[in-house]
A and B are shown apart, each in its own frame.
Chain A
Amino acid sequence: MAKPRRRLQPLKSAPKTGSNFVPVYFDHNATTPLDPRVLEAMMPVLKGPHGNASSLHRFGRAARDAVERARQQLADLIGCQPQQITWTSGGTEANNLAIKGVADVQPGGRVLYGATEHPAVMEAAESLCARGRAVEVIAVDRHGVLDWSAFAAQLASAPVRLIALMRANNETGVLQDVARAAQMAHEVGALILVDAVQAAGKIALDFSALDADLMSLSSHKLYGPKGIGALVKRAEVDLSPLHHGGAQERGLRGGTENVAAIVGFGAAAALAASEWAARAEHTLQLRDRLEQAVQTIPGATIFGAGVERLPNTLQFGLAGYEGEALLMQLDRRGFGVSSGSACASGKGEPSHVLLAMGYPRDVAYGAIRVSLGHANTADEIDRFVAVLRELVVAGHP
């Protein structure tokens, strides 16, 4: 039985709207601003020469060289070989390519995925059911951490072909020990896909050290452009393409290369490689400041508290409040936050992540996710907390 929700009262101060108004942006897990240095790297491509990277003439070769330089930059960030990287249109395509690509050419064995995975992984995996594949969910505990004993039992019960697990959750920021999962996967001859979309650029990430078989990445979560991602793959892992046509990306992904975005992704990766630790430290300070303040609000729950999380992410619920209504008020007061995944927003569904962690629907409905970036300040945190308190006080009967 859901508890009755408290209504939010109108605020005294005027809402901040208008076409030129720039909000405080606390939604970096949805997307990040493009770093001006990344744009600078992209501009020569956007201004021409305009080669098709598959063309053999001079313009085509210049485009090809730029694509390969970016591949090296990304490889340096995540500790893989450049030839292990396949460009995709984003993290969603990378996850789809990995899951469907493996399932298509490697028959037999179940596909497992974590209960708190991103919809790109969940839905791609579930689509395999229609193709007759057995698909199972791996449970998580109340903190969002993999239930290791249940996982071990699942691995032992019947053959497994592929396991898809995220390194860091997009809503709660909770980290999974994917290296441990990889070891367990390999012991039963299964492959592991690590969804590192939220982890890359925020925490240390090393493809070979994790011993992953596949890893998905997205550019626009690390201050790069939208519309570009990558799938990292060990050479021995056999995949069928998702987009047939043309010999691009060694036949694994047809389509004219998005040169400007690839160059942007490379530049963003190079910046992340040198700056991620400083960014992590900065956002962690702000996150802890926010977390301490939120804890003092009556009825507040911090999701994933007490377990290892991304340094920039805080997801919390306020008992009795509806997240969407709070978000709307925060938006009107100039704070861009989200309830969870941008992809699922607007659907009126509570977070599947929180439900998987065992929270009731009304708590899950009340979730607010704050995801910080390196340009956020302590002052912004303090202003946010003040507005939040004002809303909560006003909302009390």
Chain B
Amino acid sequence: MIYLDHAATTPLNASVRAAMLPWLDDVDGYGNPASDHVLGRRARAAVESARAQVAALIGAEAGEIVWTSGATEANNLALKGALEFRGLKGAHVVSSRIEHKAVLDTCRYLETQGTRVTYLTPDRGGRISVEQVMAALQPDTALVSLMWVNNETGVINPVVELAPLLRARGVLFHVDAVQAAGKLAIDLSQLPIDLLSLSAHKLYGPKGVGALFVRKRPRARLAPQIHGGGHEQGMRSGTLATHQIVGMGAACALAQSQVDADANQQHGLRERLWVRLQTLSRIHRNGAAVDCAPHILNVSFEGVDGEALRASLPGLAVSSGSACSSATREPSYVLRALGRDDELAGASLRLSPGRSTTADQVDRAADEIIAMVHRLRAVSPTWVGEADGEGAAVLIPFAAADNVYAYPAPVWAAFGALRHAGVLPAGDDVVCSRAGSPAAHAQLELSARCAPDGTIQAARFRAYGCPTTIAVGEWLASQIEVGFEAGKIPDTARDLRSALEIGEDKAHCALMGEDVLRALFDQIQRIRK
């Protein structure tokens, strides 16, 4: 398994884990940091020393760090807290269409409360410009929220240039720095950002802890979003999780000590991956290649379906779109915002190397991706590029254990062993049919060689679409090759669903199978006449 998903989450660093463990014991590390006895004071001291470590990473003062349960909470607190404190329900906010869901969903919530939000669209390189932001400001703009580094493309937004301009205009500036911290140098003592969100688990710390930088001078004031007990200067209540906070502190200290080395290493691997992938034709790097964070490469592949590509790469832990929204299986809204169509946005991989990634892993990952892109293009009826490596990998069956996305076993078996992929050479005795599902951007093609009496002697299929679509093609070709009665056509969709155990969500694949079979038999009828 090659892990290239460090932008989703990173492994917990061993030294960070070691720093956390004394606070996960039943001896003397478990005190509540709010307690006024020796165990409480010990925990409190550890919390405060971690606060200083986090502050040091970003050039802040310890008193400017507010602990949260993660960056999502930090972003929520920043946006809702700032507007609520100022009593500016109806105020104006500027953000962008490529923000993380935590900011976008919070903005949408604020809109339901009367806030007006301008969502800026990035240029084709994925960047929001200084001019765009300044032009979007209105007299009552209370807040600008912009991510430093985009989590899908790695593109860096010009927050450094914007900060002094927004300060001069008196507009509060919130920056989601989750993907920037530990990757780029951040010095808030020189940069007038008011609020800045951080997450521990993106920089080799534990999950479940994050922080919000809240500037003291001039003071950015927030209304708390979690009440009770008055922890964290009243801005965020709840018992502090000592071990997680200590972990975040240790992770930040480590990141600070090796930010340049990390950046160089990951940049090298990222570019190595990109160079290698470019042996494929018609691929597109998403986001500008200059001014981007070192650890993210996002590539769209023409001529393959995104879901099929992901399923074909069980040995790679990569994201297709942001991990947080990938469960919804919608094409990435970030890539669509920078102008990719649904198909290209869907057929994308985000590859993010990390500290433990090796050049060898990157090479193997690239080889695997290249082979699987070739395989899918080779069976696609719509691919009209050069036949790079056509058919090479088509016949290598996938192992049952590699069915990590839990397709029905018969679907996986057929998708994994494409014995009938291809197209029969044209001839008087060869018929061919096609069917498509525009909604799913899927295509199925069948070709068959018939005896004069109409008996099918050989059949092949080509398909573009999800694994189920491809499995339907394989199953149909294999069935009609061994004899098929035209009278059974009206039952095909039902038979397909039962033979391949296709669920309701993929019923359209079975219907497409019936369509293409019906079209094929129409052709055969015509030949016999």
Q: Which residues of A contact B (CB under 8 A)?
A: 17, 21-23, 25, 27, 30-36, 39, 42, 46-48, 50-52, 54-61, 88-93, 95-96, 118-124, 126-127, 218, 220, 225-228, 240-248, 254-261, 324, 327-328, 330-331, 335-339, 341-347, 375
Say how far B40's CB is from chain A's closest CB, in angstroms. Answer: 7
- B396-421 vs A: 1/0 string, CB under 8 Å? 00000000110000000000000000
Compute how far the CA of A122 lies from the CA of B404 in the bound complex, rounded to whole angstroms: 47
Q: Are A123 and B237 in contact (CB under 8 A)?
A: yes
Query: Are A261 and B76 in contact, CB atoms less than 8 angstroms apart?
Result: no
Please give, as numbers and ranges, the residues of chain B lying within 8 Å of A42 by CB-CB distance.
24
Q: Given A48-B11, A57-B316, A245-B75, are A123 and B201 neighbors across the interface (CB < 8 Å)?
A: no
Judging by beta carbons under 8 Å apart, are A59 and B1 in contact? yes
Assess whether B102 is in contact with A90, with CB atoms less than 8 Å apart. no
In the complex, the answer to whether B325 meets A327 with C-beta atoms within 8 Å is no
Bound Cα distance A55, B225 (Å) = 28
> Of A30, A93, A240, A258, which is within 8 A of B238 by CB?
A93
Mark B197-212 against chain A: 1 for CB-CB distance below 8 A, else 0.
0010100001111000
Given A47-B17, A51-B9, A124-B228: A33 and B25 interface contact (C-beta under 8 Å):
yes
* Dominant SS among interface residues on chain A: loop
Q: Which of B105-113, B126-134, B257-265 contacts A (4 or more CB under 8 A)?
A: B105-113
CB distance from B510 to the nearest CB of A (A): 23
Closest to A128 in B: B227
A residues near B26, Cβ cutoff 8 Å? 33-36, 375
Among B1-53, those with CB < 8 Å from A are 1, 3, 5, 8-12, 17, 20, 24-28, 30-32, 34-40
A52 with B323, Cβ < 8 A, contacts A33-B26, A254-B105, A331-B36 known? yes
Q: What 1/0 mask marks residues of chain B from 322 to 365 whose CB sits below 8 Å from any chain A CB?
A: 01111110000000000000000000000000000000000000
Decide: A345 and B319 in contact? CB cutoff 8 A: no
Q: In the complex, A226→B206 CA distance in Å?
A: 13
Q: Is B114 an interface residue (CB 8 A)?
A: no
What residues of A have a CB within 8 angstroms of the CB of B199 in the complex?
256
Q: Is B443 an interface residue (CB 8 A)?
A: no
Total chain B interface residues with beta-carbon distance under 8 A? 79
* Interface hit among B66-74, B155-163, B431-439: B66-74
Check: B220 CB closer than 8 A to any chain A CB: no
Q: Give B278 Cβ to nearest chain A Cβ, in Å.
A: 24
Mask for B227-240, Cβ within 8 A of A = 1, else 0?
11111000001111
Stretch in B241-249, B469-477, B497-505 touching the partner: B241-249
CA distance A25 to B34 in the complex (A): 15
Contact A123/B227 with A35-B26, A39-B25 known, Cβ cut-off 8 Å: yes
- In the complex, given contacts A258-B69, A258-B244, what are 16 additional A-B residue pairs having Cβ atoms less than 8 angstroms apart? A31-B239, A60-B323, A90-B241, A92-B227, A92-B239, A123-B230, A227-B241, A244-B106, A244-B109, A245-B106, A247-B101, A247-B328, A256-B324, A261-B207, A328-B36, A344-B229
Let me know if B101 and A254 touch, CB within 8 A.
yes
Q: Does B460 sit within 8 A of A, measured CB to CB?
A: no
Query: Which of B9, B34, B314 is the most central at the interface, judged by chain A CB atoms within 10 Å of its CB?
Result: B9
A248 to B38, CA, bound (A): 38
CA distance A32 to B3 in the complex (A): 36
Given A120-B238, A261-B241, does the pair A245, B35 have CB atoms closer than 8 Å? no
Q: Which residues from chain A contact B458 at a C-beta distance below 8 Å?
A: none
**Contact status B227-A55, CB under 8 Å:** no
B516 at the interface (CB under 8 A from A): no
User: Any chain A CB within 8 A of the CB of B104?
Assistant: yes
Q: How far is the CA of A50 from the CA of B16 in the complex (A)?
A: 14
Q: How far is the CA of A335 from the CA of B36 in the complex (A)?
A: 11
CA distance A220 to B243 in the complex (A): 12
Query: Can you list 14 A-B pairs, Cβ within 8 angstroms, ordered by A?
Result: A27-B37, A31-B35, A31-B239, A34-B30, A48-B12, A90-B238, A124-B228, A127-B224, A220-B241, A227-B243, A256-B207, A258-B209, A261-B208, A261-B244
B35 A27 Cβ-Cβ under 8 A = yes
Interface residues of B in 49-100 (CB under 8 A from A): 68-73, 75-76, 100
Known: A124-B228, A244-B106, A343-B229. A31 touches B32 (CB 8 A): yes
B324 CB → nearest A CB, Å: 4
Q: Which residues of B contact A330 (CB under 8 A)?
A: 37
Separation of A324 and B35 alpha carbons in the complex (Å): 12
